[in-house]
Amino acid sequence: MDLSQLTALAAVVDEGSFDAAAAALHLTPSAVSQRIKALEQSAGQVLVRRTRPTAVTGPGEAYLRLARQIDALVREAAVETRADGDGRDVTPVTVPIALSADSMATWVLPALATVGPGVCFDLHRDDQSRTADLLRAGTVMAAITSVDEPVQGCRSERLGVTRYRPMATPGFVERWFADGVTVDALAVAPMVVFDRNDDLQERYLQRRTSRRLTPPRHYVPASADFAEAVVLGLGWAVLPHEQSDEPERRGGLVELDPGQHVDVELHWQQWTLQTPALEAVAAAVRAAAADHLL
């Protein structure tokens, strides 16, 4: 297997086309195409979908993951050989990570800030139930996910539980839940939802009512703005304590349904391939999770 072929595969997937990959690699599109064809002939399978943008096939995921791993090892070797005494000459290693918007907005970014200047981050945001798909596809080296079953070629460890409580403003509760949190009230009271993949509010409704309700909803696909929308009284939503504690202390938010909550168990999955940068990131995430998760 020619390493230049694996490099071409990663570039075609990352850049979204053969032409863009050629520009990134300082090659002609024909040269990139030849390398991909040679790799596919060696594998005996189609590895890249010739779509717009290009995408890796199922069989291609293993080769893409291999390409990422080799690139990580090469970059780690470069760091070890080029660093001077104070580390200023270090070429940072980029670690791509998949995580949810809630994790990014609350406890993960402060954890990553402790890793040091030798590592850069390429963060991919998705629902915690879907981040493992990015790991499986070879897009990222690690993921914070609700999936505990290790992705092939990865190891998994439990981080803890994020607890989400249904929260709303006092005025919102007075208007929509004057007679208590009933099925009828939940069916009509507006709620705030992150995006179409966010099912946390639905999980609360299903558990609370054992029915499928379709109340009005506001879609607010940014974590900080999502919490702000609840504080402003647009609707109710389930929030982690990092986003609800301060406005709750100020009296801006109250528990909509005391004693009710939605728990999401989180896991750290990463390549079994060990590199100093990836292990440093894992240690930082693990320590922060111990402080923030249940």
When the candidates are 2.60.40.420, 1.10.10.10, 2.40.50.840, 2.60.120.1060, the CATH number that belongs to 1-86 is 1.10.10.10
Question: What does pTM read for this prediction?
Answer: 0.80
**pLDDT tens digits, one per residue of 22-63:** 999 999 999 999 999 999 999 999 999 999 999 899 889 889
For the chain, domain boundaries: 1-86, 92-294
Low-confidence ranges of the chain (pLDDT < 70): 82-91
Distance CA 22, CA 155 (A): 34
pLDDT score for 62: 86
Distance CA 185, CA 180 (A): 8
pLDDT score for 177: 97
Which fold, 92-294? D-Maltodextrin-Binding Protein; domain 2 (3.40.190)
Q: Which residue has the tokens 């596919």?
A: 40
pLDDT score for 124: 93
pLDDT score for 117: 81
